[in-house]
Amino acid sequence: MYADIAGQVAYNYWDKIGDLIASFFPDLIEQRNVYFSTAIEIIPADFHCSDNYKWLNNFKISDYSELNKKRKQIVHYSTSDTEYRYNHLQRTNDFVAMEGLQKEREYLAEYYKNHIALTLTGLEKTLQFLAEITPALFKDIP
C-alpha cells in the first residue's frame, strides 16, 4: 500500500512541476492538458540547447516514463500488493521464482527512495531552466 502511495505522490509532484513549466508558455498548451510530459513537449526548440532542459527531457523519457507506467498499473488496473499476491500464488512451487518475486517487492523501497532524490534534482533543474529562459520570454518587462 505504501509503495503504491509513494508512486502516486511522486507522479503528482512531477505533475506540479509540469504546471510550473507550462505557466511560462500559457499560449502553447490547453489548461486541461497540462502534465509534466506535455509541459516538456511544448517547450519551443529555441530552448532545447539548455543543459537543464536536456536533463528534464531525458528524465521524462526514462525515469518519469517508467514511474508513470507503474502508476497507471496501480491506479487503473491492480495494486502492487494484488500483483504480488497473484504472482505468489502462481509460483508457490518454484523457489527461484519466489525469491525473485520477493527481491522485486523489496526493491520498491529503493526505487522510490531514488525518485525522492530525482525530485530534488528535478526541482533544481526546473528552476535553473526557468531562470535561463525568463529574459528571452519576458524581455518587454523591466
| 25-60 pLDDT tens trace | 999 988 888 999 999 999 999 999 999 999 999 999
DSSP letter for each residue of the chain:
-HHHHHHHHHHHHHHHHHHHHHTT-GGGS-GGG--HHHHHHTS-GGGTT-HHHHHHHHHIIIIIHHHHHHHHIIIII--HHHHHHHHHHHTTT-HHHHHHHHHHHHHHHHHHHHHHHHHHHHHHHHHHHHHHHHHHH-TT--
| 50-88 pLDDT tens trace | 999 999 999 999 999 999 988 777 777 676 766 766 667
Could you state, in order of their start, the residue ranges of all structural domains in the chain?
Answer: 47-136
